[in-house]
């Protein structure tokens, strides 16, 4: 599935290069909780009837939806939506994932292949070993292909602290997909989210090699 967020993707090309949320409309309301930034609070206090655009689609999934690392304020960058799967994009992909064995999500910046650790002490250690083995095969294969990029493998063990309501954890622990990953692409801090055009093709090639190696191993 090439694009999860087609409306946000189009908007990022036409208006805001760094836009990442969807484009659904939500009425602003008084924010609650410490996670809502002072800027969000001030904006909504000034204009309580403001229409805010978009939901962070990687906070709109059922697994631990609406907990830490997300916001209930519609104008916030990490707004999780009014309910799990409130957005047609996440609902459509969740239905599609029901029949899949592998889920790999590609995101921006960091050069990390991560896998979700269940947010309690009862997770299956054998499953985590499998997660790690497959991810290491992908990153090792990239090095063997001669790429100068270095991707690290990391468990998303701060799931509740940082990224509640995310797709990779939903796929692994709600549906039971045995292999669920997030790949954060180049770079690792030099250019940030604004890669030069010369880096686009090498980054795509690296991602292809990582995913191909993982799928061949599975």
In whole angstroms, give the CA distance from residue 153 to residue 136: 7
Q: Are residues 119 and 25 in the same domain?
A: no
Q: Are residues 128 and 206 in the same domain?
A: yes
In whole angstroms, give the CA distance from residue 79 to residue 55: 5
The tokens describing 189, both together, are 């801090």
- Domain span at residue 90 reads 1-99
Residue 173 pLDDT > 90:
no
In whole angstroms, give the CA distance from residue 78 to residue 163: 10
Q: Are residues 39 and 53 in the same domain?
A: yes
Highest mean predicted confidence (pLDDT) among 5-14, 32-41, 148-157: 5-14
The tokens describing 175, both together, are 């549906």
Q: Where residue 40 falls among pLDDT bands split at 50, 70, 90? A: low
Q: Please identify, among 50, 70, 99, the residue that sits at the C-terminal boundary of a domain.
A: 99
Q: Are residues 121 and 198 in the same domain?
A: yes
Q: Please identify, among 48, 74, 99, the residue that sits at the C-terminal boundary of a domain.
A: 99
Residue carrying structure tokens 């519609």: 74
Q: Are residues 110 and 94 in the same domain?
A: no
Q: Please identify, among 99, 118, 139, the residue that sits at the C-terminal boundary of a domain.
A: 99
Q: Tell me if 115 sits within 8 A of 181, measured CB to CB.
A: yes
Highest mean predicted confidence (pLDDT) among 31-35, 76-80, 115-119: 76-80
Q: Are residues 44 and 143 in the same domain?
A: no
Q: Are residues 93 and 133 in the same domain?
A: no
In whole angstroms, give the CA distance from residue 70 to residue 76: 9
Q: Are residues 76 and 1 in the same domain?
A: yes
| HSE-up of residue 211 (Cα within 13 Å, Cβ side) | 17
Q: Are residues 93 and 105 in the same domain?
A: no
Q: Are residues 162 and 189 in the same domain?
A: yes
How many CB atoms are closer than 10 A to CB 180?
25
CATH no. for residue 157? 3.40.630.10
C-alpha distance from residue 15 to each of 11, 19, 83 (Å) = 6, 8, 27
Q: Are residues 21 and 2 in the same domain?
A: yes
Q: Are residues 128 and 204 in the same domain?
A: yes
Residue carrying structure tokens 């497959």: 134
Total domains in the chain come to 2
Residue 126 pLDDT > 80:
no
What is the mean pLDDT of the segment spanning 74-88? 95
Task: Supply the pLDDT for residue 108.
Answer: 75
């Amino acid at each position: 599935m090439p694009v999860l967020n087609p409306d946000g993707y189009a908007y990022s090309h036409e208006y805001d290069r760094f836009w990442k949320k969807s484009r659904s409309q939500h009425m602003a309301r008084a924010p609650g909780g410490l996670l809502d930034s002072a800027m969000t609070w001030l904006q909504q206090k000034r204009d309580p009837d403001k229409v805010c655009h978009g939901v962070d689609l990687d906070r709109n999934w059922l697994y631990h939806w609406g907990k830490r690392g997300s916001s209930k304020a519609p104008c916030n960058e990490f707004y999780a939506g009014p309910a799990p799967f409130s957005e047609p994009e996440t609902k459509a992909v969740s239905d599609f994932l029901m029949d899949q064995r592998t889920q790999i999500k590609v995101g921006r910046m960091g050069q990390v292949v991560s896998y979700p650790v269940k947010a309690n002490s009862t997770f299956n250690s054998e499953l985590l070993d499998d997660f790690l083995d497959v991810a290491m095969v992908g990153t090792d294969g990239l090095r063997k292909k001669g790429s100068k990029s270095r991707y690290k493998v990391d468990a998303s063990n701060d799931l509740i602290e940082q990224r509640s309501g995310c797709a990779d954890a939903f796929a692994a622990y709600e549906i039971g997909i045995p292999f669920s990953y997030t790949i954060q692409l180049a770079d690792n801090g030099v250019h940030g989210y604004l890669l030069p055009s010369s880096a686009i093709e090498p980054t795509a090639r690296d991602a292809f090699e990582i995913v191909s190696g993982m799928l061949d191993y599975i």
